[in-house]
Structure 1
Amino acid sequence: MPLESQPVVVSGERQGQGSGDVVPEPAKDIDPLTLVRGFIGATLKPGQGNAAARAYLDDQSRAGWRPSRSLTIIQDTFGTVYDTDPQPDPNTLVVNVRGIDIGTLDQSNAFVPDYSSALLKVKVRKQAGGQWRIVDPPADLYATESDFSENYTAVPVSFYSETSATFVPDRRYVIAKPQSGLPSRVMDLLVNGPSTSLAGSVKNLLGEPVEIDTNVKSLDDGTLVVPLTGVSGVPDDTRKLIAAQIVLTLQYVTSARIRILADGAALVPNHPDWRSNELPAYGATLSPSLDLLGLMTVGGRVRSLGDGAPVPGPAGSGEYDVVSAAQSIDGKRLAVVERDGGKVRLRIGDLGHDLPLVNLGGTTLSRPTWRPGTGEVWTVADHLTVGRMVLNPNGQWTALTVNATDLVQQGGITELRFSRDGARVAAVIDGELWVASVVGTGDSVALREPRHLQPHDVTDVADVDWITQDTLVAVTSSPSQPVVRVLVDGQRLDAFNSSNLTPKVHGVTAAPGRPIVVADASGLWTASVLGEVWRPLPHSMQDADPFYPG
């Protein structure tokens, strides 16, 4: 049974044809080029079975066209030109669609970034009545970026990370209308599990044998009912996590109370109805306390962002020639990359004390990053080897390797930064912006599913950090957009105000609920939202590199 359908007006002349939707035919005597443009423009118009797009096909193709669930999104500006290869039939032409493919919506409704030339060949034929119609419609659907944004809404679907004991957003895109069906469409995505980009990084608590028993529905009082089955034998603590996974996901498509049932009874005993403000603060320990103001490295020393004073111990006194550093989430530990002649080496220890050397070094080491929920420190040696430092029971740091083959195949890694939930890393590779998922199996860890974000518009990247779990901020050498915000799937890019910044911007740090701090040629600057003019940070210093804990 379909979960929903579009209401249609049935005219007398079309009754009994079984078409389901009544859509207008293309304009009379439309030329082949305009016909193909109209076909692409009709792809996402409401209607069952892509009825609006089928109107541009000949009768045989209308009946037989079965497009895949994949949607290719192209830039709004695209061209249609006649193919130069001669056709044996004078009433048959081939129209080439030329543009830029910015990405695809895969079968799990996740956006997969791409930036390549789109070339689609569409065959059209003059019908008996003299009208041109498409006779070989493409196997995949094509739509413009504007049409996609108008018809789809983004929903961060939540999945659980056992490593960091928090929920990770997995951005999906669902048809926005009818709005009443949004909760059902989103729950289907939740039950079907994470997208390819997060496979192996997170756990779907609603996987087999749990499933939706009947349709998600709204009661007369507005309560949204989510009926589950297959939950028998699931312990109470897991039931609470399942409830959280559902509520955190549905909060983006409904403001109603959510009643979660398991075989007709409350999923969590004595707690049938939920709102998002009733959930525990999952992941609260993964963001730094507001008491920790952040640090900066400048002149070989580590100093406070709050007052500019050197931190206690050899990291602040100048005993170490510090190149870069990272403070642990709780603020108690410090990892520093120290210059040692023509090479560098890593030290990790308690803030304010001597920092023991770790058996890891090289010509270069990227600024360290702390892996959430584990206490591990990661850095990249000589742009190619990802090192993972683990504290053993004896209190010594041991260097382990990470299977980063998929990522290092893309080029030399100059920056690596963990997301606040630990499920992903952001990387700067040969001046370009990448993300990858963190997959752990036993004691081994791998970086999988690397995705290149905004390859055309984000180049010459110097540094990157995470604003939220699914949003990045990157700084580039571009004078027109030196600071940009990019969604984790690469679907959207926004530029921050460039006022007051002096190229080249070379450093950035960010954290949830904190101002963004960037470093340019003159010092440190801060802003919180797009469009805001950058303000100088008090106690700023030239050549400083800022960093929040993490």
Structure 2
Amino acid sequence: MRRATVALAVLLALSGVAGCASVPGSSPVQILRDVTDGETAVLPPGPVDGTDAGGLVRGFVEASGSSADDHGAARLFLAPEAQDWDAGAGFTVLDSQFDTVPSPGAPDPSSDTTRIRIRGSSVGRVTASGSFEPEQAPVQIDVTVVRRNGQWRISELPDGVVLPLDEFRTSYRDVRTWFVDPARRVVVPDLRYLPAFPSRAQASRAMELLLAGPSGALLGAVDSQLDAGARLRSNVALTETGALIVDLTRVGDLDEPGRRLLAAQVVLSLGEVNVARVRLLVDGIPLITGRPELTREDVADLNGDVQPAADVPALVVAGGRLRGLGAGSAGSEQPGPLGNGAYDVESAASSVDGQRVAAVARSSGRRLLLVGGGADGGVAEIGLSAVDMTRPSWTPTGSEVWTVMDSTTVARVLVDGAGTPRTGQVNADELAAFGPIQDLRLSRDGMRVVAVVAGGLYTAAVTRSLDGEAAVRNIRRLRPADLGEVVSADWRSAEAVVAITRRADRLVAQVSVDGLSVQGLLVNNLTPPLGAVAAAPSRAFLVTDQSGVWSFAGGDQDAWRQVLGGAPDAVPFYPG
């Protein structure tokens, strides 16, 4: 990463002093109301008199979630000689189940000094940029405790914060910071985490995260209109009418499109912490001429978080044909050779606007890629052939379609011009190094892929060079211990994927893009093994089991509903 990894608390502590640099006298800024003042969190209780050594250490771990006053609540559990504990040396998130047990060979607890081991499993760590990096691994941390005046306190411990997942969810909230897709020149989200309290400090903290740049997961895939030297001239503040003043300096030279992109980055990032209006200034002057205050509606056209239109339906490949996905035992056949049986179709995908379709067809023991569009359903064979091909996936503009050939080669087809489609490769060597690539899906904003590789669930960024070459970088494996063998995956949103697995107790799981959270979906009336999955924002989940395609909308619905019967080989899909 481009910045050293230290605890999130250290970075956030800087937010309160972001405006301490001198303000040029030529354009003074009036601080009307400092939004870092205000309510404070209810701090966790300190140690309870009479608590045994193991209970004291457990209480310390649970209190570490409060970052207020340099983790002041956790410091109540420390003896005076341990008060130099550096909470900023690291931030590990534990699975919620952890133990505090006597360390092997520790002195008997009847003495006044002993050692306690914190024992559990990490799910990952929080970086200085407020992002979560997944890493499941065993954790064993020994601390020394002493008994003085009848009470145990921690006298020696390693630096850094260790926090259970449940406490992290209580003490921190997820937000999206927004950065620039350099190809489409729109802004896309990057998931981060902020302390939940005090809420009135979150605007300044969100700006600090934006100024810090993209997370490691999207490094090299996105840009920022904020130069590395950009900073706030003063603390963010509220006007009397409730607009948030954000005055930046050292932003570099920006043309009008660049200024609008910068406005979108700031306004959408602050919208995550409930800021409705922003008075966005550069050196005291409005960033956008004639628009002293901006709202999310003013930059909505630059939001690159693509969603399929509500009127573009789901489709399904079943029995070698492309069909609409309707109620009953069979969907309606689609027009053209993909629907009428001219090709033996195995899988397919439509562009996010539904105007183009790509399909993998079986032919003489091999696979062909077909691309087409239009009301007549016409398609053309692309010059790609392999023993196996994964289901296709489209970029948000509908100008590229990707597939994986023979589990190793990620191929892309450029169909953006009026001429013959061009084929090329994606540099996915880093991903293929983990094993055979069994499934790969582009996110609908085009900035990431989710892939199933040797039964593991992975996410990665899509980077593009100046000459247009694409690569898959910044690879993360998500929750292997909780998912087991993964069969297929799809994007629910820019922040979440859905996967089907071989685990009987978690056949369908929704996983955050960074791997922090994993949630199993109800599967009481599905017949495993499952074969395919499809998802999209605000759409029902679709899976294929041994009897056909099933739909689950969540909410009050307590069972899956069959939407296509007698099709155990079906592959449903939403646009994108």
Tell me the TM-score normalized by structure 1: 0.89
Q: Does 1:321 align with 2:321?
A: no
TM-superposed CA distance for 1:173, in Å, is 0.8
Q: Does 1:68 align with 2:94?
A: no
Distance (Å, rounded) in 1 between the aligned partners of 2:91 and 2:72: 16
Distance 1:82 1:446, change over 3 A: same
In the alignment, what sits opposite 2:29?
Answer: none
TM-superposed CA distance for 1:534, in Å, is 4.5
Q: Which moved more, 1:279-288 or 1:252-261?
A: 279-288
Confirm or deny: 8 A CA contact 2:91 2:163 kept in the other structure.
Answer: yes
Residue 77 of structure 2 is aligned with which of 50, 56, 67?
Answer: 56
In the alignment, what sits opposite 2:315?
Answer: 295
Q: Which moved more, 1:111-120 or 1:520-529?
A: 520-529
* Higher RCO (CA 8 Å, separation ≥ 6 residues): 2
Residue 401 of structure 2 is aligned with which of 352, 359, 377?
Answer: 377
In the alignment, what sits opposite 2:355?
Answer: 332
Map residues 53-132 of structure 1 onto 2, 5 A cutoff.
53-62=74-83, 64-68=84-88, 70-85=90-105, 92-126=113-147, 129=149, 131-132=151-152
Q: Which moved more, 1:42-51 or 1:532-541?
A: 532-541
Give 3-state SS (helix, strand or coil) of 1:281's partner. Answer: helix
After superposition, what is the alpha-carbon deviation per residue over 1:457-483, rounded to whole angstroms, capped at 9, x for unaligned? Answer: 223322221121111122234444332
Q: Percentage identity across aligned positions?
A: 34
Give 3-state SS (helix, strand or coil) of 2:312's partner. Answer: coil
Distance 1:186 1:510, change over 3 A: same
Distance 1:397 1:534, change over 3 A: farther
Residue 243 of structure 1 is aligned with which of 263, 268, 276?
Answer: 263
Distance (Å, rounded) in 2 between the aligned partners of 1:7 and 1:393: 56
Give 3-state SS (helix, strand or coil) of 1:277's partner. Answer: helix
In the alignment, what sits opposite 2:238?
Answer: 218
TM-superposed CA distance for 1:56, in Å, is 2.5
Distance (Å, rounded) in 1 between the aligned partners of 2:420 and 2:414: 8
Confirm or deny: 8 A CA contact 2:442 2:450 kept in the other structure.
Answer: yes
Distance (Å, rounded) in 1 between the aligned partners of 2:476 and 2:150: 47
After superposition, what is the alpha-carbon deviation per residue over 1:94-151, rounded to whole angstroms, capped at 9, x for unaligned? Answer: 2211112122111111111222211111123455x56543232222111111211111
In the alignment, what sits opposite 2:162?
Answer: 142
Task: Return the letter of the residue paired with 1:431.
Answer: G
TM-superposed CA distance for 1:232, in Å, is 6.4
Distance (Å, rounded) in 2 between the aligned partners of 1:375 and 1:23: 53
Task: Return the letter of the residue paired with 2:207.
Answer: M
Distance 1:359 1:67, change over 3 A: same
Residue 526 of structure 2 is aligned with which of 475, 498, 501?
Answer: 501
Confirm or deny: 8 A CA contact 1:336 1:346 kept in the other structure.
Answer: yes
Map residues 447-486 of structure 1 onto 2, 5 A cutoff.
447-486=472-511
Distance 1:47 1:233, change over 3 A: closer
Task: Return the letter of the residue paired with 2:218.
Answer: L
Q: Does 1:194 align with 2:214?
A: yes
Q: Which moved more, 1:324-333 or 1:531-540?
A: 531-540
Distance (Å, rounded) in 1 between the aligned partners of 2:474 and 2:253: 34
TM-superposed CA distance for 1:355, in Å, is 3.2
TM-superposed CA distance for 1:57, in Å, is 2.5
After superposition, what is the alpha-carbon deviation per residue over 1:397-437, rounded to whole angstroms, capped at 9, x for unaligned? Answer: 33322221221222221111111100010111223321111
TM-superposed CA distance for 1:86, in Å, is 5.9
Distance (Å, rounded) in 2 between the aligned partners of 1:505 and 1:101: 29
Q: Which moved more, 1:519-528 or 1:462-471?
A: 519-528
Distance (Å, rounded) in 2 between the aligned partners of 1:467 and 1:234: 35
Distance 1:541 1:95, change over 3 A: same
Distance 1:329 1:30, change over 3 A: closer
Confirm or deny: 8 A CA contact 1:283 1:421 kept in the other structure.
Answer: no
After superposition, what is the alpha-carbon deviation per residue over 1:444-502, rounded to whole angstroms, capped at 9, x for unaligned? Answer: 22111111222222233222211211111222344443322211111112233324333
Q: Any unmatched runs of 5+ in structure 1? A: 9-20
Confirm or deny: 8 A CA contact 1:308 1:540 kept in the other structure.
Answer: no
Map residues 418-437 of structure 1 onto 2, 5 A cutoff.
418-437=442-461
Task: Return the letter of the residue paired with 1:314.
Answer: P
In the alignment, what sits opposite 2:431?
Answer: 407
Distance (Å, rounded) in 1 between the aligned partners of 2:416 and 2:350: 19
Confirm or deny: 8 A CA contact 1:465 1:510 kept in the other structure.
Answer: yes
Give 3-state SS (helix, strand or coil) of 1:317's partner. Answer: coil
Distance (Å, rounded) in 1 between the aligned partners of 2:305 and 2:500: 27
Give 3-state SS (helix, strand or coil) of 1:497's partner. Answer: coil
Confirm or deny: 8 A CA contact 2:93 2:163 kept in the other structure.
Answer: yes
Confirm or deny: 8 A CA contact 2:398 2:416 kept in the other structure.
Answer: no
Task: Return the letter of the residue paired with 1:219.
Answer: T
Tell me the TM-score normalized by structure 2: 0.86
Q: Which moved more, 1:281-290 or 1:248-257?
A: 281-290
Residue 294 of structure 2 is aligned with which of 231, 249, 274?
Answer: 274
Distance 1:29 1:524, change over 3 A: closer
Distance (Å, rounded) in 2 between the aligned partners of 1:324 and 1:409: 25
Confirm or deny: 8 A CA contact 2:304 2:445 kept in the other structure.
Answer: no
Distance (Å, rounded) in 1 between the aligned partners of 2:257 and 2:507: 46
Task: Return the letter of the residue paired with 1:342.
Answer: G
Aligned length: 536
Confirm or deny: 8 A CA contact 2:39 2:198 kept in the other structure.
Answer: no
Distance (Å, rounded) in 2 between the aligned partners of 1:441 and 1:471: 26
Give 3-state SS (helix, strand or coil) of 1:356's partner. Answer: strand
Confirm or deny: 8 A CA contact 1:467 1:473 kept in the other structure.
Answer: yes
TM-superposed CA distance for 1:279, in Å, is 2.8
Q: Which moved more, 1:232-241 or 1:292-301?
A: 232-241
Confirm or deny: 8 A CA contact 2:92 2:125 kept in the other structure.
Answer: yes
TM-superposed CA distance for 1:201, in Å, is 1.0
In the alignment, what sits opposite 1:390?
Answer: 414
